[in-house]
Amino acid sequence: MLKPTSDMPDMPVQPNLRRRAVMDTARQLGLLGGENSRIGGRIRRELVAAAKKKSGISSDTELLEYALAKVALEDDFGTKLVRRKGRIAQDIDLEL
């Protein structure tokens, strides 16, 4: 089980800006429109508490919505970059 460490700040680092950007993008893409649905599950208290602390979110519903939006918007840049290994010519000039 992950225990809070000194690396986990008491106050989140600019949570409102990050959260607002994620939620605004999700809204612009139409991910937050339409009817609400109900979701249920058993989630470890420690995980919920750490996520709330890190994000600055106190509501379970808002936390789930934010987490799901982050997953839905997650980019796969790293994966795509790794897949390109060996596809760029070795003699290409990268200097400007």
> Contact at 8 Å (CB) between 64 and 18?
no
Percent composition of the chain: helix, strand, coil (DSSP 3-state, to 5): 50, 0, 50
Identify the pLDDT of residue 2.
46
Q: Which two tokens stand for residue 6?
A: 């000194």
Q: Where are the alpha helices (DSSP H) in 29-59?
A: 45-55
Q: How confident is the model at residue 46 (pLDDT cuts 50, 70, 90)?
A: very high
> Contact at 8 Å (CB) between 60 and 14?
no
Mean pLDDT score, 42-68: 95
pTM: 0.66
> Contact at 8 Å (CB) between 8 and 54?
yes
Residues 2-45: tens digit of each pLDDT: 455 555 555 545 668 989 999 999 999 999 998 999 998 999 99
List the domain boundaries for the chain. Answer: 15-83
Residue 12: left (phi > 0), alpha (psi -120 to 50), or beta? beta
